[in-house]
Amino acid sequence: MSSDICLYFQENNVARILAIANQKGGVGKTTTCVNLAASLAAMKQRVLLVDLDPQGNATMGSGVDKYSLELSIYDVLVDNAAVETVAVVAGEAGFDVIPANGDLTAAEVELLDIDHKERRLRSALTAVDGRYDYILIDCPPSLNMLTLNGMVAAEGVVIAMQCEYYALEGLSALMDTISRISETLNPSLKVEGILRTMYDPRNSLTNDVSAQLHSHFGEKVYRTVVPRNVRLAEAPSHGLPAMYYDKYSRGAKAYMALAGEIIRREEKRVIAASEMSWR
Torsion angle of the four alpha carbons 238, 241, 245, 247, in this order, in degrees rounded to the nearest 10: 170
Count of Cβ atoms closer than 10 Å to residue 190 Cβ = 14
Question: Which residue ranges in the chain fall short of pLDDT 70?
Answer: 1-13, 276-279
pTM of the predicted protein model: 0.93
Confidence (pLDDT) at 173? 87
pLDDT of residue 270: 83
pLDDT tens digits, residue range 102-152?
A: 999 999 889 988 999 999 999 999 999 899 999 999 999 888 999 999 999
Domain of residue 195, residue span: 3-277
Nearest CA-CA partner of 47 in 57, 27, 29, 62: 62
Number of domains observed in the structure of the chain: 1
Model pLDDT, residue 13: 65
Tens of pLDDT, residue by residue over 71-99, are 999 999 999 999 999 999 998 899 999 99
Total residue count of the chain as it appears in this document: 279
Q: What is the CATH number of the domain that holds 186?
A: 3.40.50.300
Q: Nearest 5°: CA angle at 269, between 197 and 46?
A: 70
